Structures are given as structure tokens and as C-alpha cells.
Amino acid sequence: MSTSPSIRASDRAADPARPSDGRASAGARAPVTGLDIGGIRLSNRLLLAPMAGVTDRPFRSLCRRLGAGMAVSEMLSANPALSGSRKSRERADHRDEPGPIAVQIAGANPQWLADAARANVDQGAELIDINLGCPAKKVCRAAAGSALLRDEPLVARILEAVVAAVPVPVTLKTRTGWSPHTRNLPRIARIAREAGIAMLAVHGRTRACGYGGSAEFDSLRALRAEAGLPAEFPLVANGDIDSPERAAQVLAYTGADGLMIGRAAQGRPWLFRAIDHYLATGEHLPPPSSHWICTTLISHLEELYRFYGTARGVRIARKHIGWYLRATATPDQGRRPVHNSPRASGGNAAQAADEHPAPPDALHTRQIHLDRINRVETPEQQTRLVRALFEEAADLEDAA
């Protein structure tokens, strides 16, 4: 199996379904179909990836409204000692959320994971996802997440226990291996299939890669043949899918059945709608206006205030504001690699926005607004400053 870090130039030349100019040809466009996961039929093939500190109920609901076929919850620890914590209660809150309700669980104890799966199904989960990909040190120190990739027999016991515990589909999100020298994705895929896993999502990096460099898709492209997976077993590609063109390229190159989008949706929840339209038509939707983005962001902030309470909501909102500003500061609506975006669980508006600076003539004004946004303590102050910032951008659009 090739271990190249990305879709290689030589593969582009050899693969007529993946044009070298970065645009999807008629042959590369995916048919407009949904994705079937263990009998659950999604409206399309686009999934919001679970991200700690990001994919809470307000963000999941927003992404569903803007085109995601399914949104997976933040990772829930299977440790029973943590089940009553505020974090666990919030992550398990799916009130008024559009279905299917998908919950990701993490841990290294098969019985704990089976119990956690049952508990979440009892609370309304319609799909259980098992985390085999989180590279965070605190997760791997507990032998969970991507650390499990080094213990294939334990992976088999976990998957078998969870599948046997619940009557709903169980899926698996994984990486290509622990390190570039120990990739074991085909063996993990065979274990998953034999255990009754209903779908496999593959992030095209190893645990050692973290989120650095570029995701590679050679591993996924070869997986069905190498692991002996039947054509009906759904495979989902994940990693650096940050534009409609990239989505079409990855589908055509890998033969994947669906796409899972994570960091690229931070501050751009409309990305799902844009990708869905492009895959169906080969054409781009018009970029959203500053007025529309401002309205969407304000609505998102109001949901955060309601969900977390005003004090915590204001603090949590800061990183989202920064991500929205990053997207609007990029002329092509953010179609840049996002390998070095701020950690999903932290950051503020300035940290989230500073990697894609605005043009020099707008930088000073924007920085003043960001500093103010990061100091205010009430929703009224925060939303007023956000409106002022986007009104400036809208005035510039109108003048142009």
C-alpha cells in the first residue's frame, strides 16, 4: 500500500476520473444518492464528524439544517464514573435534534462500552459510533481512541460487545494506523466487518500524524480489495475535505460511499449545502453574503446562550466567532487547507481567525473588534459587536 501523504500528481495523471485542474468533470460527479447505514437511510452522503468541544447540539442542528445528512455527537466517555458529569450530560442532550441521532462513545473496556451504548440507545440514540481515531494524549493514555489500533484483539472484543448490546447500527471511525510504519487499516476493517459494524469511516492519517501534514487517501482507495470488503459495505472518507472540488476528487479517487467533514465546517456550516449541490450539478452555489452569514452566526450564538447559559455561552461562542471570521476573511470562502486550525476544544476569536488574515486595510479594524469580542461578558454586547463587524463587510460588498 502506498503511504503517500496526499493524492499524488502521478495518480491524478493516471486517473481520468480525477481531473488535474481541480474541477469535477461529468464523470467525476457523484450520483445524487443517500447513504444507507444498517437500514438507516440518509438524505445524502455527507456526515458531520464528531469533534470534542465543537459538535454540540447547537452546531449539530445547524449543520443538519444546512445540508449535513447526519451529525455525530461529541465523543462520550464510556467510563461509568463520568456518566453523571456536566460534560457528559450536555454531550448526551439531543432534545429537539433532527434524526438520525448518532452518538460516539470512547473507551477501552468492552463491558463499559456496551453499557454506554445501551444507555445512549435508551436515551434516543439511533446509531452508535465507536471512536478508534482520537489522537489526543489524554485519550490515548487511557488506551482508548487511536491507542486501540495497537491492540487488535481488544478492538475485536469491543466491537463484538457493542454490536451485541444494542439493536441499532454500530459504526466505527478510525485512522490508518498508529504510525506511518505500522498501518493496519485492512486488518481493522476485516475485524469490523466480522463483528457486524455497519459502516467504517477512515481519517487519512495515523495517530502519529495528529492533524499535521495532509491526509492521504491511498489507504482507503485500496481498502475494499485488501480487506475483502463487499461492495455494499459502506466506506466513508474523512480528512481535509474542505471544498466542493475536493469532495468530488476524494469520492472519485477513493470510491468511497460517503464523506465525513470535520474542521472545514468550523465557521462554515454551509459547506455541506455547497458540496451537496456541487456533487449533484457540477456547479457552485453563489457564496453566502455577509448579511446571510451574520444572520446565521447570530442564530448560532443565541442557541449557544440557551444551551450553555449566558456566561458559559459567551465564552464558548468566542471560538465559533473566530472561525466564522476566518471563513469570511478568505476570498474563496475558505478553500484553504485547514491542517493548522485551532484545537477544537479551546481557543478564542482571535486565535481562530489569525491564520487567514484579512487584507491589510481591514486588519486593524477587525482586530479591534476581535479584542472587544474576547473581552465582553454578556450576549447583548457580543452580538452587537458581531453585527457591527459583519455590517462593515456587507457595506463593502454593497459598494462593490
Residue 276 DSSP SS3: helix
| Cell (9 digits) for 93 | 442532550
Residue 66 — left, alpha, or beta (φ > 0 → left; ψ -120 to 50 → alpha)? alpha
Residue 201 DSSP SS3: strand
State whether the Cα torsion 331-313-273-288 is positive or negative: negative
Strands (E), 169-323: 170-175, 199-203, 235-238, 258-261
Nearest to 303 by CA among 293, 317, 290: 317
| Cell (9 digits) for 385 | 459587536
| Cell (9 digits) for 214 | 495532509
* Contacts for 384 with CB less than 8 Å, ≥ 6 apart: none
- Of the residues 63, 134, 140, 209, which is catalytic? 134
Main-chain phi, psi angles of 249, to 5 degrees? -60, -45
Instruction: Based on the residue annotation, tell me whether 294 is a catalytic residue of this protein.
Output: no
Burial of 360 (0-12, 13-18, 19+ CB in 10 A): exposed
| Cell (9 digits) for 222 | 485500496
Q: Other CB atoms closer than 10 Å to residue 168's CB: what's the count?
A: 23
Q: For residues 164 and 114, is the Cβ–Cβ distance under 8 A?
A: yes
Strands 46-48 and 258-261: parallel
**How many Cα atoms are found within 13 Å in the side-chain-facing hemisphere of 157?**
11
Nearest to 61 by CA among 9, 97, 114, 8: 97
CA separation for the pair 398, 20 (Å, rounded): 35
- What count of residues does the chain have? 400
C-alpha torsion 170→85→136→196, nearest 10: -10
Active site residues: 134
